[in-house]
Chains A and B, each alone.
Chain A
Amino acid sequence: MTDTSNAPDAIRRSGRWVFVTGVTLLCLWVLVPIYLLMVNALSAPAEVTAFPKRFWPSFDTASLEFFFGFRGVVDALWNSVKVAAVTMVLAIGLGAPAGYALSRFDFPGKEAFRFLVIMTRAFPLPLLALPLAVMFIRTGLDDTILGLALVHATLALPFAVLITFSLFSGIPLELEEAAWTLGCTRVQAFIKVVLPLAAPGIAASAVFAFVISWNEVFAAAVLTIENRTLTAFLLQSLDVSPLHLKFAGGAALVIPALLFIFAVRKYLFAMWGIANR
C-alpha cells in the first residue's frame, strides 16, 4: 500500500485517494445532518431561531430543559419505551419458536407459513391501524400500550421470524443430535446447547424489533390519543410547537437509534443474509 516510485503505483495511489475521498464524503453525508440537529438541540432557544446560525453548539441545555419540562413529553417518552418493550417481547416470543420450527423441521404447511410471512412484506402494515382502531374501541384496547404494541408487533414479527430462522439455521443440527445421544431431551438440548449459541443473535433481533416500534409514526398517531408515544406526540404538535422543541424532540428520537444500531452492528448483516429469502 505504501510502495513508491513506479508508474502503476502512482495510478493506484491516486485511485486510492479518490476512493478514500468517496468514502469520506459518504460518511459525511450520513453524519453531518445528525451533527447539525445536535447543534440545534444543544443550543439555547434564542440561538435556534437566530440567523445566521453558528455551526457549533453553545452547549446551552435550555432547549433540552424546555423539551423535558414540556407537558406530556416525559410521559410520551416513557410510553414509547413501554410500547417498544412489549413489542419486543411479543415479536421474539412469537417469532423465535416459528423461526426455530422453520429451520429444524420439514413438514406440510411450511411453505404456506413462509408465504404468509413473506406476504406481509408486500403490505404497508401501518395501515392496519385504521380498522383496528374500531376493533380496539370495542375490546377496550383503544389508546393503550398493549393495543399499539400489538400493531407494532405485526410489523416486527415477520422480521423476527426470518431473522431467528437464519440464526437457528446457522447452528449445526449435529450439536443438538450430540446432546440427544448424551441423554438430553429435546427441550434440554435446546436450552443447554442451542439457546446459549443463539442468545446474542436473538438479543440483536429483539433490539431490531424495539427500533421498529420506537420509530413507528402512523399507527402510533392513529391509535393513541391520551397515551401518545414520542413520535405521535411530536407529529401531532408539529404545526404548533416552536422550533427548539421540534429539534430537541428529534434529538431524543435519534440518540437511542444511534445506540441501538451500535448494539446490533455485528449482527446486522448476518441477520439480513438469510432473511433475504
Chain B
Amino acid sequence: MSTALIENISGPGAKKYAERRAAKGKPVKLSGPSDDSGGRRPGWVTYGLLSVVVVASIFPLYYAAILGSSTRLEIAQSALPRLVPGPNLLANIGAIISNHQIDFWTSFANSLIVAVLVSAATVFFSTLAGFAFAKLGFRARNALYVFVIATLAIPMQLGTVPMFIMMNEFGWIDSLTALIVPSLVTAFGVFWMTQYLKEALPYELIEAARVDGATVFRTFWSIALPAARPAAATLALFTFVGSWNDFFWPSVVLRSQKTLPLVIPQLSGAFTADHALIMSGVFLIALPLLVAFVFLGRQLVAGVMAGAVKG
C-alpha cells in the first residue's frame, strides 16, 4: 500500500509512521476495525484506554475493601486512608460474620436456596416449554408462542400490590416461598430456550427416537435436554444472578427473614456511622458472586453477546 494513500486517509503522522515501518521491512496496513481472524494488532493507546475502563469497573469494590480495612477514625480523617487493603479487613469481616443482628450465614443460606431453586426450576420448565414450542406440533402453537413473547413487555411492578395481597392470603409473607414460587418459570426463559432448540435440535433425532418407541418425555429427557445444555447453562447463570441480587421483591414480602441484599441496608443500623465496619460488610456480601464470576464469567459474556435481555 502506498504511503501517499495512507497520508490521504490517516494524515501526515500516519504517513511518517508507515514510512518508518516500510524502511524496516515491516508490513504496512491501514487502520480500522478488523475481525478476530487477523488484521493489525492495536497499539498501546487501546490497551491504556481499556485499562482505565477496567480500573473503573473494579473501583467500587476496591474502595469498599480499602475502607473496610480501615478504622472509623481513619475514614473521618481521609477519604482514601490507604492504597492497599490491610489485614484489618479480615478482622472487620469477622466482626460482621459473628454479629447476631446481622446473622450472615442464615441470610447467605436463604439467598442460596432461593437462587438455586429458582434457576433450576426456570431452566427445567423453560426447556420443557421450549422443546414443545420448537419441535412438537400442536394446535395454536404459533399463537401461544407470540403470546409468551408479548408478556415480556408487561411492566412487572404493575402487579406488586396485588401480589403482596395474594402472598398474604397464601400465608407466604416472611417466607422464602414467596420468593420462589412466583419465579419458577419466566417468559424470557421460554423464549430463550425455544430460539435455541429451534436451531440446535435436528428433527431427525426426534424422529429416530420416536421410531425406537421412546415416549415424548423420554425424547425430551434423553435428546432435547442434552442438546439444550449450552443455552440452559447461560439461562441458569442469568437467572441465578437476577435472583441473588434482587432487592425490591424481598423488601416487599420479607420481614424477619432475610436474603443477602436485605442485609446491606441493615448494616448502617447495626453499626451506626462506623463506615469501616459497614464497608467491610458490603464487601463481604458482594464477594461471593464475584468469586463465582471468575470461573463462570466467560459463559456470562457469551450470554450477553448472544443478545440476552436485561433483568
Instruction: State whether these chains interact.
Output: no
